[in-house]
Amino acid sequence: MRRYLPLLLISFFLLILLVTGTTYLAGYAGSKGNKSGLETVTVYTTLPLEQVAIIAQEYEKTANVRVNITPLTDRELINRLIAESLQPQADLILTHRKTLKQARSSALLVPYQSEYTDIIPSKFQDTDGYWVGLWYDPIVFAVNQDYYQATTQQTANWSDLLLDDKVRVGMTDFLAADAAANLLYTLVAANGEEQTLNLFKKLHPHIVQYAKFLATPARMASMGEVDIGIAVHSETMRYAKDGFPVQIVYPEGGSSYLLTGAGLVRGAKQAEQAKHFIDWLTQDAPQMVMTQHKFYFLPTNPETKLYREYAKKPMKLLDHHDMYSPEQQRRLLDKWVQARLGIK
């Protein structure tokens, strides 16, 4: 045992040096970070972390401001803002319209308007400036290229989905995602309950899969698993840009869309930085960096390059998101389930 004692002592001494040195370096790094002088802005978001992270990184490079991101579910975001209302920890929220409206109705936001938000069309923002829409994602027809070129029945409208009695269709289950269910409410508001439910009842035998995720119908159309996918624009464009044989067709009669926006938190500690960030989010830069990373959303700002490009497309947006109460929405969903099951 004595022969190993010097080795044990040396090992113990080296361990002490390692622990002490690591602690010192960690403390130095933290001290150095605190002295960086960077302003910060804290964002609570329900968007995918990978999407928000690339936006945050771009803003940090542009404005020299550190963006702290806290990803949450819709319910978690609202509950956390309420719990922190006396001592807010977030400066702004980045989320979808439904959650922005809930935050406003719960008195968790304060209005903010600027020369940058003022040019956003009124349909994309709160009437009193409590939140502003930044980009949106419409529901489109993702048509497999082979089917598109071979069929004589070109799909241009919702009723055209029924022209081909052999067509294979993929769509997201209305019960699986709010953005999918919003299509049902929107078409009912635009075309009437009977006509809309009858459409989906007749379409049911052609549905290959009621998907659980918004991305699935676009993938299925791109892979030839269905002829037409009722899909979000962003995912369909991602497959098209990657060289898959899929064609985007915008429904002539109009379609619903998912709107993403930002709101300034009441009592935000870094309110001025949050305002600058919101202004920046309305501009070309975030759209460009998202496109570079394959996030293909459409901006709400008419002065952005991408907005002008898509203004040439035959796209009609139907905006009936406030037509129905939660109880009425549940009733419509129940009727849709009954219609596809043939229950009167």
Give just the sign of the alpha carbon dihedral 275, 281, 283, 284: positive
Q: What are the pLDDT digits (tens) for 160-202?
A: 999 999 999 999 999 999 889 999 999 999 999 999 999 999 9
Query: Higher-confidence residue: 314 or 238?
Result: 238
Q: Mean of the pLDDT values across residues 264-268?
A: 98
Q: Which of 27-36, 47-56, 178-187, 259-268 has the lowest mean pLDDT?
A: 27-36
Asked whether the predicted pLDDT for residue 19 surpasses 50, the reply is no
Whole-number Å distance between alpha carbons of 75 and 221: 33
- Per-residue pLDDT tens over the stretch 81-96: 999 999 999 999 999 9
Is the pLDDT assigned to residue 25 strictly greater than 90? no
Q: How many CB atoms lie within 10 A of CB 81?
A: 24
**Coil, helix or strand at residue 266:** coil
Q: Where are the alpha helices (DSSP H) in 64-116?
A: 74-83, 97-105
pLDDT one-digit tens code per residue, 210-254: 999 999 999 999 999 999 999 999 999 999 999 999 999 999 989
Quick one: 45 exposed, middle or buried, by C-beta within 10 A (0-12, 13-18, 19+)? buried
Q: Would you say residue 10 has pLDDT above 60?
A: no
**Average pLDDT over the chain, rounded to whole?**
88
Distances (CA, A) of 177 to 75, 100, 203, 223: 15, 17, 19, 23
How confident is the model over 151-163, as pLDDT tens digits?
Answer: 877 788 999 999 9
User: What's the pLDDT tens digit per position in 277-307?
Assistant: 999 999 999 999 999 999 999 999 999 999 9
Q: Check pLDDT > 80 for residue 6.
A: no
Domains belonging to the chain, first-starting first, are: 39-136+258-310 (3.40.190.10), 137-256+318-340 (3.40.190.10)
Which pLDDT score, from 0 to 100, does residue 319 have?
A: 82
> What's the pLDDT at 154?
79
Question: 242 is written with which tokens?
Answer: 């990657």
The answer to whether 206 and 228 are in contact (CB under 8 A) is no
d(CA 275, CA 264): 7
Assign residue 241 a region (left: φ > 0; alpha: ψ between -120 and 50; beta: otherwise).
alpha
